[in-house]
Amino acid sequence: MGNGRDRLQLIFTLMLFGTIGTLSRYIEMPSSVICLGRAFFGVVTILIMLALRRQKPDMAAIKRNAAWLFLSSSFMCINWICQFEAFKYTTIATSTLCYYMQPVFYILSAAVVLREKLSAKKMICVFIAFCGMISVSGVLQTGFHLSELKGVIFAVTGGFFYAMVVLINKYMKNIKPVDTTVCQLALVTVLMFPYSAVTGAFADVRVTAAGIACLVTLGALHTGIAYIIYFDAVNKLPAQTVGILSYIDPVEAVLLSAFFLKEPVTVWTIAGAVMILGATAVSELGAD
């Protein structure tokens, strides 16, 4: 099952990822500004860590993959904006679980683009996960409330674009994950600054000590430091171990929303969570 230290590193980063939604509740800024700050502080942290390790980005590899890096960074911008917008319109539990439809979108897109086999088992898992998303959204109990519906749409859209980022990364050749990450974060910073300026997002920023502290933490700890530790662990652990432990993220997010933020978690939310996470686990693990 892999080295114990590597598993602990992976668990640590996944537990950090699970607190992103809760942390975002204390940042009173537009989603684009949050994304800008997260990327900026993330890339600065990674560059500092690389300097301390006396490592330099492989510029030749970066140039070879420049087009893919730009495209994936553009999709990452949309992914992050949708994720933080979802947090604003619905509960952390609902937005996180709907966002976790990402593996389903990856399975479907990989079948079309990469010609990967789409077995009957995977199709059944996709259908069950979709039913789980409907259950989590609350539409079966309360109908279509505009705010909740917006949150669900943003979360699902964010999951889709995250799947596209993962898919595009498959096309990159001979480039280290840390180089990919530092370039993506740098490009997100470059892209999000003019977007935030043009859309007037900077005018809506409420600067508070708590908000700034949470934003710096989100960028430096949850993105910069966590990404380096995450990739170090993932590269050393079996895929099944990574797949199983990845469920720490959404489960923790749901628990934090219930116990820390006092957000409602209904029976339908729990049922939907079981369907989404269970279907994803079955589709990713074991033979077809």
Give the model confidence (pLDDT) of 90-146 as tens digits: 888 888 888 888 777 877 787 777 677 777 887 888 788 888 878 876 666 655 577
When mean pLDDT is compared across 33-47, 102-116, 154-168, 231-245, the lowest value belongs to 231-245
pLDDT computed for residue 286 by the predictor? 57
The residues near 65 (Cβ < 8 Å, ≥ 6 apart) are 172, 173, 175, 180
Q: Provide φ and ψ at 96, rounded to 5°.
A: -65, -45
Percentage of the chain beyond pLDDT 70 is 91
Mean pLDDT of the chain: 85
**Residue 133's pLDDT is what?**
79
Q: Where along the chain do its domains lie? A: 4-117+143-264
- pTM equals 0.84
Judged against a pLDDT cut of 90, whether residue 198 lies above it is answered with: yes
In angstroms, how far is CA 93 from the centroid of its own chain?
Answer: 14
Q: What is the DSSP letter of 201?
A: G
Write out pLDDT tens, residues 208-250: 999 999 999 999 999 999 988 887 787 777 766 666 677 778 8
Handedness of CA 198, 204, 208, 211 (dihedral sign): negative
Looking at residue 7, its pLDDT comes to 84
Q: Are 42 and 167 in contact (CB under 8 A)?
A: no
CB distance 77 to 136 below 8 Å: no
SS3 breakdown of the chain: % helix, strand, coil, rounded to 5? Answer: 80, 0, 20
